[in-house]
Amino acid sequence: MRIGVLALQGAFREHRLMLERIGVETREVRLPEHLDGLDGLIIPGGESTTMGKLAVEFGLLEPLQELARSGFPIWGTCAGFILLAKDVGQEQPLIGGMDVVIERNAFGRQVDSFEAMIDVPALAAVTEGEPRPFPAVFIRAPVVKEVGPDVEVLAKVDGKVVAARQGKLLGTSFHPELTDDDRFHRYFLNMVKEG
Ligand code: GLN
């Protein structure tokens, strides 16, 4: 199995390190040809407007839009989640694919960044022993304001949706790659393996 990590900008190294720790082969994706032969793709956190513009510049936006439409497994964290949304309330290049409306920087300036232990029932499949909460790191994080009928909500914070899945597309508002809890990475790898 080989997982690509979009490496135009943002926290891509941390995702690679986490995957390699689990024993998965990775590849940094900067050009369309880097998508060949991958089994799944992670779009990291960073700045979604910048990442989107770079994707356009490097000829990656259309191939990524096509992959997202085709049922290829893609996981977006934070800015990556924003890019997978169909609507973010402003003009910027998006990959789309998920039937969600997202609000960027939704926790406001007062709480720029924070950590919260959140319940994610879907992680039971990759949790040894008793269920336990996931340490979610939020950095100028987005929230999901509306979800379509095919979207499964995986987690909420203060009643706000912060993790969701639609088919093979996964989105988290927070940064599992900045913790040492690899359960979200293993959850995504299971999505990839399920074929
Ligand atoms: N606030 C960023 C954006 O809107 C996302 C922040 C992040 O990825 N940590 O793109």
CATH number of domain containing 94 = 3.40.50.880
Domain extent, residue 42, equals: 2-193
Candidates 14, 15, 34, 175; catalytic one: 175
pLDDT for residue 189? 98
What does residue 131 show for φ and ψ, rounded to 5 degrees?
Answer: -60, 140
The rounded distance, in Å, linking the Cα atoms of 161 and 166 is 14
| pLDDT tens per residue across all 195 residues of the chain | 999 999 999 999 999 999 999 999 999 999 999 999 999 999 999 999 999 999 999 999 999 999 999 999 999 999 999 999 999 999 999 999 999 999 999 987 667 899 999 999 999 999 999 999 999 999 999 999 999 999 999 999 999 999 999 999 999 999 999 999 999 999 999 999 997
Instruction: Decide whether any atom of ligand 1 lies within 6 Å of the 76 Cβ.
Output: no
* 103 tagged catalytic: no
Q: Which atom of ligand 1 is nearest to the CA of 51?
A: 10
pLDDT for residue 112? 84
Query: Which of 78, 115, 174 best tests ligand 1's pocket when mutated (most atoms within 8 Å of CB)?
Result: 78
Q: Which atom of ligand 1 is nearest to the CA of 104?
A: 4
Instruction: Decide whether any atom of ligand 1 lies within 6 Å of the 165 Cβ.
Output: no
pLDDT for residue 110? 64
Overall residue count recorded for the chain in this entry: 195
pTM: 0.97
120, 123, 104: which is closest to 112 by C-alpha?
104
pLDDT for residue 195? 74
In sequence order, the 6+-apart residues with CB closer than 8 A to the CB of 65 are: 95, 96, 97
pLDDT for residue 172? 98
Instruction: Decide whether any atom of ligand 1 lies within 6 Å of the 161 Cβ.
Output: no
Distance 128 CA to ligand 1 centre (A): 31
Structurally, how many domains does the chain consist of?
Answer: 1
What does residue 44 show for φ and ψ, rounded to 5 degrees?
Answer: -80, 180
